[in-house]
Amino acid sequence: MREGETLSNSGWKIETPLIGPALLALLVIALAAVPFFGGTGTMRLMVEIFAMIAMAQAWNLLAGYTGFVSVGQQAFIGIGAYGLFMVTLKGGIDPFSSVLLGGVCAGLIGAIAAPALFHLRGPYFAIGTWVLAELFRIFITNNDYFGGASGLTLARVLREIPRDFRNDATYWIALTLAASTLVLVYVLLRSRFGLAIRTVRDNESSAESVGVNVRGVKFMVFVIASFITGCAGAVAYLNTMFVTTSAAFSIEWSAFIIFVVIIGGIGTIEGPVIGALVYFFLREWLADFGTWYIITLGSVAIAVIVWAPDGIWGLIAKRYPIRLFPAGAVMRKKSV
């Protein structure tokens, strides 16, 4: 761009294909109808998939776009889940609006922990987030007010809500969460703030030198990701109606999230969705073989990191000219 030019008159435009958003809209409408004919088992599974998509999008926003990897996402999943259970059981708020409150709890903890965690660079930041998760896991496990080691159940509250309504509401909340997370990340990344995010990822000091508030950007991204992950954790355990610290704060959450994003394609919006589908397909398919699906998933993820770092969506995008959600600001010369 020459001096005095803005993006709009520079002869370049940001690629904005309508096909992605249009497909998404159609898909959401179709999926929203599932409760009218789907069985309880199918719906339960789909809630899990939706929650995973939201978690994976949040992690991808952190790792794929902003460049900081967390292996402590279970901190926010656990806090979100326990947030929901506590405000529902002790605060008497209905479990469905509590999903957002669970997310707020997670976002708040994220905001408090961020300044400390940001002292850790790169890989050390990753392990630091895991320590955060452990801190909360041990605290809640040893505290009877939060149900201690035996966990909490929503049975008492949910008994008063008709079963069908309960299942349908959970399903729609999960669908809304997955879809709105995708849209939020997409819109965020295409905004001015999104440009700042990627500048920070590529080089922090040059980002600073062109006037980007690096700390501010990282803080915002971390808090947004914590909030989304918290909401998703709340939904995941609203779905099971029962939570324990050993499950909600388990490192396996981070493992699945990371495998999903890596296999699907890190740094793309399509990737986490594809990865989530691959994950649940493998899990259901290998359900009779204990933990072998995790071992398979982990091995595939390592192979992808080493030999095909762009993941499945990367391979597709390289071969075919499809871009559903080009958040990476793909610019094209305007045709004259």
Q: Applying CB under 8 A, which residues contact another protein? A: 63, 67, 69, 71, 115-117, 119-124, 126-128, 130-132, 134-135, 138-139, 141-142, 251-252, 255, 258-259, 262, 290-292, 294-295, 298-299, 301-302, 305-306, 309
C-alpha span between 302 and 328 (Å, rounded): 24
Return the axis-axis angle of helices 163-190 and 192-202, rounded to nearest 10°.
70
Cα R_g (the chain), whole angstroms: 20
Cβ at position 271, least distance to another protein in Å:
14
How near is the Cβ of 317 to another protein at its closest, in Å?
Answer: 20
Which residue lies nearer to another protein by CB, 102 or 267?
Answer: 267
**Alpha helices for 203-287 (secondary structure H):** 204-209, 214-240, 245-248, 251-264, 270-285
- Alpha-carbon gap, residue 197 to 62, rounded angstroms: 9
Q: Which residue has the tokens 């793909």?
A: 330
Residue 127 or 241: the one with the smaller Cβ distance to another protein is 127
Q: Which is nearer to another protein, 141 or 176 (CB)?
A: 141
The minimum distance between CB 133 and another protein, in angstroms, equals 10
Strands 331-333 and 12-14, by their bridges, are: antiparallel
Query: Which residue, 59 or 227, is less far from another protein as judged by CB?
Result: 59
Going by C-beta distance under 8 Å and a sequence separation of 6 or more, which residues neighbour residue 119?
none
Q: Smallest distance, Å, CB 307 to another protein?
A: 9
Nearest approach in angstroms of CB 318 to another protein is 19
Query: Residue holding tokens 């993941």?
Result: 311
- Nearest-approach distance from CB 302 to another protein, in angstroms: 4
DSSP-derived 3-state class of residue 186 = helix
Instruction: Extract long-range pairs of 32-41: CB within 8 Å, 24+ residues apart.
Output: 32/172, 32/175, 34/171, 35/167, 35/168, 35/171, 35/172, 40/167
CB of 90 to another protein, least distance (A): 23
Residue whose structure tokens are 């939706």: 50
* Least separation in angstroms between CB 45 and another protein: 22
| Shorter beta-carbon distance to another protein: residue 87 or 117 | 117
Contact criterion met (CB below 8 Å) for 296 and 286? yes
The nearer residue to another protein, 285 or 292, going by C-beta atoms, is: 292
* Closer residue to another protein, CB minimum distance, 100 or 297: 297
Closest-CA residue to 68 (of 251, 259, 228, 202): 202
- In the complex with another protein, the residue whose CB is nearer, 35 or 128, is 128
Q: Which of 51, 167, 144, 135 is nearest to 90 (CA)?
A: 144
Question: In angstroms, what is the minimal distance from the CB of 75 to another protein?
Answer: 12
State how far the Cα of 327 lies from the Cα of 297, in Å rounded to an integer: 27
Nearer to another protein by C-beta: 68 or 237? 68
